[in-house]
Amino acid sequence: MKTKKFLNDPDNIVKDTIDGFIKAYGDRIEKLNNSNVLIRKKRDKNKVAVIIGNGSGHEPACIGFVGSNMLTANAYGAVFAAPGPDTIYDAIEASDNGAGVCVLISNHAGDVINAKMALDMAEDDDMTCEGVILYDDIASAPKEEIHERRGTAGTLFNYKITGSYADEGHSLHEVVNMAKRVRDNTRTLTVATVPGSSPITGYKMFEIEEDEIEIGMGVHGEAAAHTMKLATAEEIAKVMCEKLIDDKPYKSGDEVAVLVNGCGQTTMMELLIFFNEVEKILNQKGMKVFKPAIGNFITTQEMGGIALAFCKLDHETKLLWAKETDAPSFSL
């Protein structure tokens, strides 16, 4: 059975989404002519730009994270597909205000290949830019192969903290180092209870048994690492927290930002109940939670599930995480 959705022509999903976005937030964000790039209207001269390229279908990511103290621009791709190198190049060219461009690249094959091509094209045209590959999903590769891990919901910490840092006026070299620092302090794990569906075909992207949940799903329905029987929020939070804490490891005395991200179908009631359990576990282990982000930030259509991510903070990154932004889809 096909999923019921509010769509027109499936071939116009991206155009219709961007048209609606610009009509809603055109006071602060504009679309480039002839390119699916969303970019801040107000761009400071001589400040490093921070951009991302991502596939559509994960809204509000990353279209809703363009704004002050966050992303300068977002190159917007087809449904669940990375934008092409030409689109990313357009985003680099338009956002370069004289101090260079930092491209944050979520570690998926298409995203990496296209971003590297765009960076080469920009460098050939004498633009100053550098890419940072983000990998935070602990289920997708062992710790010994950390560079092979996927980029998932925890990349949100980088969009916010690195974006805020760039807006302070630091050099491209410093901004790139901040992006790596945030990445290295971030870990994410996702559980799924209900499969999402493709808005193009209308069919489910994968199957989950009625009495099971999948632990370690990717944002495109990539296979999970484990399954477990459906349990209480307390029990699931315990499993997820232990895996994340062991992987970094996070220790007593650490202060962490916590992301409890709904994957599309999970309600705010569930997210708050789950966060309550996470906070208790971290508190019992001597860790302190600083300004959690709870809500639907990076989704997979109507997939039921939660992505839990931690980012270890210090005094500087705490201030950057907490800075106000006018990005349409982010607040703490």
The set of catalytic residues is 58, 220
CA neighbours closer than 13 Å in the CB half-sphere of residue 193: 16
CB atoms within 10 A of CB 9: 8
3-state secondary structure the chain: CCCCCCCCCHHHHHHHHHHHHHHHHCCCEEECCCCCEEEECCCCCCCCEEEEEEEECCCCCCHHHECCCCECEEEEEEECCCCCHHHHHHHHHHHCCCCCEEEEEECCHHHHHHHHHHHHHHHHCCCCEEEEEECCECCCCCHHHHHHCCCCCCHHHHHHHHHHHHHCCCCHHHHHHHHHHHHHCEEEEEEEEECCECCCCCCECCCCCCCEEEECCCCCCCCCCEEEECCCHHHHHHHHHHHHHHHCCCCCCCEEEEEEEECECCCHHHHHHHHHHHHHHHHHCCCEECCCEEECCCCECEEEEEEEEEEEECHHHHHHHHCCCCCCCCCC
